[in-house]
Structure 1
Amino acid sequence: MAAPRAPPSSRRCLFVLLAVLAATLLLSACCAEGAAATGGKGMTRRRQLLRQRQVQHHLKRLNKAPVASIESPDGDIIDCVPIASQPAFDHPFLKDHTIQTRPAYHPEGLYDESKVASKDRQKITQMWHQNGMCQENTIPIRRTKKEDVLRASSIKRYGKKMHKSTPNPSSVEPNMLNENGHQHAIAYVEGDKYYGAKATINVWQPSIQQGNEFSLSQLWILGGSFGQDLNSIEAGWQVSPDLYGDNNTRLFTYWTSDAYQATGCYNLLCSGFIQTNNQIAMGASIFPISNYGGSQYDINILVWKDPKEGNWWLQFGNDYVLGYWPSFLFSYLADSASMIEWGGEVVNTEPDGSHTSTQMGSGHFPEEGFGKSSYFKNIQVVDSTNNLKAPRGVGSYTEQSNCYDVQNGNNGDWGTYFYYGGPGKNPNCP
């Protein structure tokens, strides 16, 4: 006998009840998803606001109130900041520092540049000079923009090199190749106490394949080991789209007292270096630039330790003493340097160990010679008597000579010199 069926009215009620229950469950799920989505957007928004506030705080710390500002033809803004308001004095040890306006002693024995033919000596200037100069008792500082900071991997790392970016000629094991992507072609001296170094550096505008790579030519003043306690003072020219937002060739400095880990920075992007000169801006574009097969342009860089005050001074050209690094910033360099290096460095970011076509120097190998390959000439060191002299026992070093190479030489006009550089990726440098 068949079971009795529920009356139509009862079935309708059951269907309605089930429909209401399903709708309630669906509505609850939708509300939960909406709340999660809204909450996620809220968290993202809060993170964005927090980062914006951090960037603004960093910009306020770096960009001191100027008495005047100059817009450079390349888009930079140069702020003329009172000398006592510069970023250096954010350092707790410099709160009551008396500025040393000039070095007590200048090195003697500077190589006689008048030996060089006039066609070989062209004057280099900075682009912002076309639109004005800073007055006395101020210093020119390239203004840091929000987009500059946002290009960095983090606010904390803005203005800093990656770790292990100093060449180590005593370690050439295969596992050192391409470490952090840094490659070099340098000349160097070691085994003595050094109190400074000088070089005349050929200026180019190497091509950079990827925005987070750079190419530079500089001298290194080094103390300590190549481990966690390396001290380094560096100066020269560089092309770094990641740091500056363009491919211009720029004057730069760098320092570190702990192998690029926490201390130091480029230019004036942290406290430390004290600038005293009102005519040259660190990090600003320099021109003109050498042309392949055409006119060649050089800059002179001199770094030396004042034997009286102990500070490390920087000079650009023959006329501009720019400022100094107080000796207390360093451990080993508080006394002297143990190695001097001159040459080029690039960063190659290919993760598989292959190479990009980021150029070093002119982008051409040393054997091409003058007008085609980049060079350092008249390289000298400062000895314990504060005299500049030709370096003895100059060695050379490169990780991969088929990518970037170096060749030393010596003659009556150029003193101790070397050609260096290369194209990076090529048929012999995959």
Structure 2
Amino acid sequence: MGKCKVAILLLWVFFALCTTILELKVEARAASSFLEKEIEAKLKLLNKPAVKSIKSEDGDIIDCINIYKQPAFDHPALINHTIQRIPDFLLESQSSSTRGATNASTDVFQTWQKSGSCPKETVPIRRIRKEDLLRAVSLNRFGQKPPEPSVNSATNTKLNFSNLDYVNLENRSVNPKLYGDHNSRLFAAWTINSYHTTGCFDLTCQGFVQIASEIALGSTVGPYSSQFNQQYEINVGIFWDRNGNWWLRMKDKIIVGYWPAAIVGNLQHSATLVQWGGQVFSYNVKTTPPHTGTQMGSGEAASGRFGFACYMTNVRIKDYSETLKYPQFVSTYAAEPYCYSALNDVQYGKDPVFFFGGPGRRPPYCP
């Protein structure tokens, strides 16, 4: 009789254990199903129906989206937005006579362009995939920069355009967390409160209105500069119009699109500060030191100058005189000067060249 009780007790324990495991499996399956639904919903929001799709040799898929159905128009402030007319001054070539002083080539292109082109009235948008979302810290913050510390973040409005070191001397470690590889890519980013709740890279959120059919933000760019070889440059500019919009122009003639006045906050009136340079970020480094081992630019210090360090030249701003001019007050700053450096090379009779970059962690100088 005692043996039967033990057998029944063991059977009950085994049954209870099996029930617990079954419940865990059901809960895990339910959680997985919920995540799948969230991912599918996010992909549907990000990727609009394509008129045409282009498979790039670098693995990207570029969707040609009807210009009036792009993500920007999902923004509450842009639901009834009318695409703005390109200002006349943007259609005029404003190349400086100093262009070419560095003997660099401007023959730079995006890789996807070798595989096709988008028809008129469409804009090329890099397709977001499931694996892109799975790499994100969270679905809600996909495509966003980590929040930046700011004394008054409510008025911290930024527009930023780069390809993360467009003269990059073969350092192609860009943003693998977002893009899934180490290619150098053209990207644009914006925020009106230090990325706490607004802004993103490229077109991963509503805001930037694209009008060009030639440029896909977030796509691979090339060729690359290398030491003792040809250097490559891309000319970019961001311009304000009297309606409060900020326009992005490339290669002196390609009008990529604009950030509408309705979303740029205080910037719709004017800008009080212009910055150019490089930025490095790592999720793995929580304190300083240790520093991140991520290189900036080519990985060479600014003192290496042309052919070695990353650089920007032909720097110009436009003030209320509405003419392009070199800024009157220019200063350089490096938050971690033993890890990364900045140098504004000013020589009499020559256009100043701004150099920047560095190797990152390099004990004992940059621990």
Task: Provide TM-score, normalisation by structure 1.
Answer: 0.79
Contact 2:144-2:201 at 8 Å conserved across structures:
yes
User: Given the superposition, is the C-alpha separation of residues 401 and 385 from structure 1 closer, same or farther in structure 2, using an over 3 Å criterion?
Assistant: same
Within the alignment, does 1:424 sit opposite 2:360 as a pair?
yes
Question: Greater relative contact order (Cα 8 A, min sep 6): structure 1 or 2?
Answer: 1
Alpha-carbon distance between aligned partners in 1 of 2:325 and 2:101, rounded to the nearest angstrom: 21
Counterpart pick for 1:374 among 310, 324, 333: 310
Letter in 2 for 1:52: E
How far off its partner does 1:254 sit?
0.4
Post-superposition CA distance 1:392-425 (Å, at most 9, x none) = 2211111111100001122477623211100001
Amino acid at match of 1:359: Q
Q: CA, structure 1 residues 73+226, in 2 after alignment: closer, same or farther (shift >3 Å)?
A: farther
Deviation beyond 6 Å, 4+ runs, structure 1: none
Distance 1:390 1:281, change over 3 A: same
State the partner residue of 2:232.
297
Deviates more, 1:226-235 or 1:406-415: 406-415
Alpha carbons of structure 1 residues 226 and 422: separation in structure 2 relative to 1, 3 Å? farther
Whether the 8 Å contact between 1:406 and 1:419 is mirrored in structure 2 is yes
Identity of aligned residues (%): 38
Tell me the residue number matched to 2:127: 143
Give the unaligned 5+ runs of structure 1.
Answer: 1-16, 169-224
Deviation per CA, 1:46-88: give whole Å up to 9, x if none: 1111111111111111111111111111010111111001000
Which stretch shifts more, 311-320 or 99-108? 99-108
Distance 1:107 1:142 in 2: 26
1:71 aligns with 2:55: yes
1:248-269 superposed Cα distances (whole Å, 9 cap, x missing partner): 1000000111110111111011
Alignment length (residue pairs):
355
Q: Is the 8 A contact 2:161 2:189 kept in 1?
A: yes
Residues 143-222 of structure 1 mapped to structure 2, 5 A cutoff: 143-164=127-148
1:230 aligns with 2:214: no
Corresponding residue to 1:58 among 42, 47, 52: 42
Q: Distance in 2 between matches of 1:301 and 1:399?
A: 25
Does structure 2 conserve the Cα–Cα contact (< 8 Å) formed by 1:303 and 1:313?
yes
- 1:331 counterpart (241, 257, 265): 265
Q: Which has the larger radius of gyration?
A: 1
The answer to whether the aligner puts 1:269 opposite 2:195 as a matched pair is no
Task: Using structure 2 for the length normalisation, give the TM-score.
Answer: 0.92
Give the direction of change, closer, same or farther, for the CA distance of 1:341–1:226 in structure 2 (3 Å limit): farther
- Aligned residue identity for 1:334: Q
Tell me if 1:340 matches 2:274.
yes
CA shift, 1:336, in A, is 1.3
The one-letter code matched in structure 2 to 1:429 is C
User: Deviation of residue 98 (structure 1)?
Assistant: 1.2
> In the alignment, what sits opposite 1:97?
81
* Secondary structure of 2:143 counterpart: coil
The question of whether the paired residues in 1 share the 8 Å contact of 2:43 and 2:128 is answered with yes
For the pair 1:313 / 2:243, whether they are aligned, the reply is no
Distance in 2 separating the partners of 1:383 and 1:252: 25
Q: Distance in 2 between matches of 1:414 and 1:287?
A: 28
Runs of 5+ consecutive residues of structure 2 not aligned to the other structure: 165-173
Does residue 243 of the first structure (1) align with residue 178 of the second (2)? yes
Output one character per residue of 1:342-398: Cα deviation in whole Å (capped at 9) or x when no partner: 000001332353123211011000111110111111111121233221112211111
Instruction: Name the stretch that deviates more: 96-105 or 72-81.
Output: 96-105
Aligned to 2:18: 34
